[in-house]
Structure 1
Amino acid sequence: MIPLMLDLTGRRVLIFGGGGVGARKAAYFEHEAEVTVISRSFSPDLDGLAIRRQEADLSALSDESLRDFLAGAFLAVAATPDPELNDRIGRLCAGAGILFNNAAGEPGDVIIPSVVRGSRFLVAISTRGKSPAVSRYLRTRLEAEYAGLDRMIDLQDEMRSMLRETEPEQAERSRILWSILSDDAIWEALASDYGRARELAIERCLHA
Structure 2
Amino acid sequence: MLPLMIDMKNKQVVIVGGGKIALRRLRLLKEEGAHLTVVSPQVNDEIKNLAASGKIVWKKKEVCTEDIKQAFLIIAATNDPNINEWIAGQVSGHQLINVVHKAEIGNVQVPKIVKKGKLIFSVSTSGASPLLAKEFSEKFASLIDKDIEKKLEEYHQYREQLKSSNLSEEERKKALKQKLDLDKL
TM-score (normalised: structure 2): 0.79
Equivalent-residue separation in structure 1 for 2:120 and 2:80 (angstroms): 32
Is there any run of 5+ residues in structure 2 with no aligned partner, and where? none
* Other-structure match for 2:11: 11
Residues 153, 47 of structure 1: CA spacing in aligned structure 2 closer, same or farther, 3 A cutoff?
A: farther
Report Cα offsets for 1:21-48 as digits up to 9, x if no partner.
1111111111211011111111124255
Q: Tell me, yes or no, if structure 1 residue 57 matches structure 2 residue 62.
A: yes
* RMSD of aligned alpha carbons: 2.7
Shift of 1:141: 1.8
How do residues 141-160 of structure 1 correspond to structure 2 at under 5 angstroms? 141-148=139-146, 149-157=148-156
Larger Rg: 1 or 2? 1
- Larger mean Cα displacement after TM superposition, 100-109 or 17-26: 100-109
* Other-structure match for 2:96: 99
Q: Tell me, yes or no, if structure 1 residue 40 matches structure 2 residue 41.
A: yes
* Other-structure match for 2:115: 117
Is there any run of 5+ residues in structure 1 with no aligned partner, and where? 59-65, 188-208
Equivalent-residue separation in structure 2 for 1:25 and 1:4 (angstroms): 17
Shift of 1:98: 1.8
Residues 154, 84 of structure 1: CA spacing in aligned structure 2 closer, same or farther, 3 A cutoff?
A: same
Equivalent-residue separation in structure 1 for 2:81 and 2:150 (angstroms): 44
Equivalent-residue separation in structure 1 for 2:43 and 2:81 (angstroms): 19
Secondary structure in structure 2 of the residue aligned to 1:76: strand
Report if the CA contact (8 A) 1:79-1:86 is conserved: yes
Letter in structure 2 aligned against 1:24: R
Letter in structure 2 aligned against 1:151: K
Equivalent-residue separation in structure 1 for 2:115 and 2:44 (angstroms): 25
How do residues 18-33 of structure 1 correspond to structure 2 at under 5 angstroms? 18-31=18-31, 32-33=33-34
Secondary structure in structure 2 of the residue aligned to 1:140: helix
Of 47, 68, 80 in structure 2, the residue corresponding to residue 70 of structure 1 is 68
Residues 172, 22 of structure 1: CA spacing in aligned structure 2 closer, same or farther, 3 A cutoff?
A: closer
State percent identity of aligned pairs. 24
Shift of 1:4: 1.2
How do residues 175-190 of structure 1 correspond to structure 2 at under 5 angstroms? 176-177=178-179, 180-183=181-184
Shift of 1:169: 8.9
Report if the CA contact (8 A) 1:20-1:45 is conserved: no
Letter in structure 2 aligned against 1:51: I
Report if the CA contact (8 A) 1:12-1:72 is conserved: yes
Of 115, 122, 126 in structure 2, the residue corresponding to residue 128 of structure 1 is 126
More helix by share: 1
Say which structure, 1 or 2, has more relative contact order (CA 8 Å, 6+ apart): 2
TM-score (normalised: structure 1): 0.71
Residues 21, 168 of structure 1: CA spacing in aligned structure 2 closer, same or farther, 3 A cutoff?
A: closer
Letter in structure 1 aligned against 2:8: L
